[in-house]
Structure 1
Amino acid sequence: MNTTTTVLIVVAAILLLGLVLSVRIVKQYERGVVFRLGRVVGARDPGLRLLIPIIDVMRRVSLRIVTMPIQSQGIITRDNVSVDVSAVAYFRVVDAIKSVVAIENVHAAINQIAQTTLRKVVGRHTLDETLSETDKINEDIRTILDVTTVEWGVEVTLVELKDIQLPEAMKRAMAKQAEAEREKRAKIINAEGESLAAAALGAASDTMMDHPLALQLRNLQSLVEIGVDKNTTVVFPAPLMSTIGELGTFLTREAAASRRPAAEVAPTNGSDPPASLLPGVNRS
């Protein structure tokens, strides 16, 4: 009786141990690749799965998207400018069996091929293209990686350039170029403003010539603007051209008077003034 009980207990323990060893749980985001005596027998979907103890071996493969940073690479662009470019790649496993059988370490392989592809693609572009056409460069890198990794059961979903480091001398040169470009635009805008202002002033002057009262209204408006600050300045506006004409007439008269002989201007002592200076006397 004791021997039979012991045997039953041992058999039950062995069965229980075998059950424990045969039970596997595959999570929702995983797939299980089962090897039976070294050969692949298929992939297991999520849930509770039973294996043959010792004979079957299962490897779990995650199907979630993996974020892989691509370390900074020293690259020489097509126009011989040295830059340091870093990026980030997003990929996921779409075929669990290929990702296990076709390659030893899929993550390390994608990291290495992403670095070489980054150097190759960026090296084909100039510095200006690298800075302005990042979307095109990202798409080119992703396409090249997809062609290579499809045999590994991996799909590259996205590649993005993360950082582009330029030499200090190049940064200063680009800053000077940008400053010169801004100054050029400012001068052009200023010249255009001067041209528009000159055209507006010309049109205003033509209007004032056609309508003399417009000038008087403008003078009154100027007086109103001056009197806003409650100052004591008194302004008497006058037409500019008439003032200049009167000033010219005055200077001409004074010059003619200064050229007269002294005898005609001042009489001698004790004598009468010359007849030419008396009013109403005919000088002829």
Structure 2
Amino acid sequence: MTEQLLNFYPDIVKQYCYLVDVADNEIALRYEQQKLVEVILPATKTLYWNSYKSHSIKKVLLQQDYELPTEIANELLEAKNTNTTITHIDKLVLHHFIHEQIGTLFVDNQLIKIIAPETVVGYYQFKHTIVLGKFNLRESRIDDRIANAIEQRAPQQLLQFCVAMEVGANEVGLRYENDLLVEILSPGTKRLYWQNGDKQHITKVDLNQGYTLSNEIIEQLLQPELRQKNIIGNSGILIAQVPAYYVGILKVNGKIEQLLTAGITAYWRFNREISVDVVDMRLQTLEVTGQEILTKDKVNLRINLVANWHYTDVLTAFEKTATPVELLYRELQFGLREAIGTRTLDELLENKNIIDEVVTKHVQIRLDGFGLTTVSLGVKDIILPGDMKSILSQVVEAEKSAQANVIRRREETSATRSLLNTAKVMENNPVALRLKEMETLERIAERIDKISVVGGLDQVLHGLINIQPKM
């Protein structure tokens, strides 16, 4: 349309319009009354009406990769922040990188350069896809994709803006910022970090020299919440804390290596499988509950047993069996079956300690040389079936009733013998006879509310009580 107007009506166009012709390698900025109102794109011819408003055009030559001059980028960014209605401003990529921000320029997914902090940049996306990466220098680690692009496309800027760190296949890297440990690099790691003004260096640890961390490193790993920065990559470290009265069993690649005393130790987990099992060395209690066992006479008993035990040699215990406590539990079960299954109910009731004795002897024999021992054990409960409880209750009741009858007959015999002895004494002793009469009269008088005496006390005595000796 513009070309047709210029060709057929050049005089009219010149009288009422003005033309803006922009080359392929430039853009134009159109101002009205000294205010930016439009960004005119490259390779365009545009007619504008002459109006009462003053207008001006500023052409900007695009640099390599369609980059705008810094002063133009500054002007455009400021205008964009104050006026969002500027035509075609969205065709430009504008950004101000602040003090602790660094950037990368990608054109069509290819890294072009690294953009330094405190820089204002602008680009025109003409037939290309332009992406600005924005990174905080406080987060110094560079993403692996960006790092690979920098190494391949911008090696000169790598030395200017980055710090490269690399560790071997049998090494661990300790990365420090201002002498503070901030990251642990696993074997075979190669990384780039932004230069952010901090003093950065790496210390390498040879894994072939051992897997135990020094006390200095352990102190830096403890209490991370008190540090300014968390340590990255500490998942490759096993920190073992053994409490008091415990020991730790250190295993490397499934093999027991040593016994750890109470305290804190740490180990490299790289290139090996390492673990620590914590074992309580104090006296412990093990309960064997709900064991239903038949006696020799086919009575079903439910037994609960308690054993107090402890380790005597932890390494031996875990070398000979994976689960020493389960071994002890099974042997207690076997001991109970041996004690109960070979005896009748009456034998068990007659000697209640026989179960403890048999189980103790069984466990001592079977666990000899396994690194653990029982201090004491005993049956906590013996629970009989419901019908057997009723039968035993009847038996006990009958036994107690018989014992009561024997005692009663014994007392009656003793009382009769006492009366007979008393009668023999009174037979030849009138005074004793008289005392017995008085005693009898006293008991009778206690049961009578009122007594009328006629003829004296002797009359009352002889009228009521008269014990005659045998002739």
Superposition TM-score, scaled by structure 2 size: 0.45
Q: Residues 150-200 of structure 1, C-alpha deviation per residue, up to 9 Å, x if partnerless?
A: 443222222221221223332222222222222222222222222222222
Whole-Å Cα distance in 2 between the matches of residues 53 and 2 of structure 1? 35
Whole-Å Cα distance in 1 between the matches of residues 240 and 383 of structure 2? 49
Return the match for 1:83 from 291, 296, 301: 301
Q: Secondary structure at the match of 1:78?
A: coil
Instruction: Give how far 1:43 is off.
Output: 0.7
2:436 maps to 218
Q: Which has the higher helix share?
A: 1
Q: Does 1:238 align with 2:238?
A: no
Q: Secondary structure at the match of 2:303?
A: strand
Contact 1:98/1:152, CA 8 A, preserved across alignment: yes
Q: How high is the sequence identity, in percent, across the aligned residues?
A: 21
Q: Does 1:177 align with 2:395?
A: yes
1:10 maps to 175
Count the aligned residue pairs. 243
Relative contact order, CA 8 A, sep 6+: which one is greater?
A: 1
Return the match for 2:249 from 23, 33, 42: 33
Contact 1:121/1:137, CA 8 A, preserved across alignment: yes
How do 1:183-202 and structure 2 match up within 5 A? Answer: 183-202=401-420
Whole-Å Cα distance in 1 between the matches of residues 204 and 366 of structure 2? 46
Instruction: Give how far 1:38 is off.
Output: 4.1
Contact 2:339/2:354, CA 8 A, preserved across alignment: no
Q: Secondary structure at the match of 1:222?
A: helix
Whole-Å Cα distance in 2 between the matches of residues 2 and 143 of structure 1? 79
- 5+ residue gaps, structure 2: 1-158, 166-172, 185-202, 206-212, 222-236, 452-459
Whole-Å Cα distance in 2 between the matches of residues 90 and 213 of structure 1? 73
Whole-Å Cα distance in 1 between the matches of residues 174 and 348 of structure 2? 73
Instruction: Give how far 1:33 is off.
Output: 1.6
Contact 1:67/1:91, CA 8 A, preserved across alignment: yes
Q: Secondary structure at the match of 1:152?
A: coil
1:205 maps to 423
Change (3 A) 1:222 1:51: same
How do 1:1-284 and structure 2 match up within 5 A? Answer: 7=165, 10=175, 12=181, 13-14=183-184, 19=217, 20=221, 21=237, 23-54=239-270, 55=272, 56-232=274-450, 235-240=463-468
Q: Secondary structure at the match of 2:240?
A: strand
Contact 1:43/1:97, CA 8 A, preserved across alignment: yes
Whole-Å Cα distance in 1 between the matches of residues 425 and 303 of structure 2? 64
Q: Which has the higher strand share?
A: 2
Instruction: Give how far 1:124 is off.
Output: 1.9
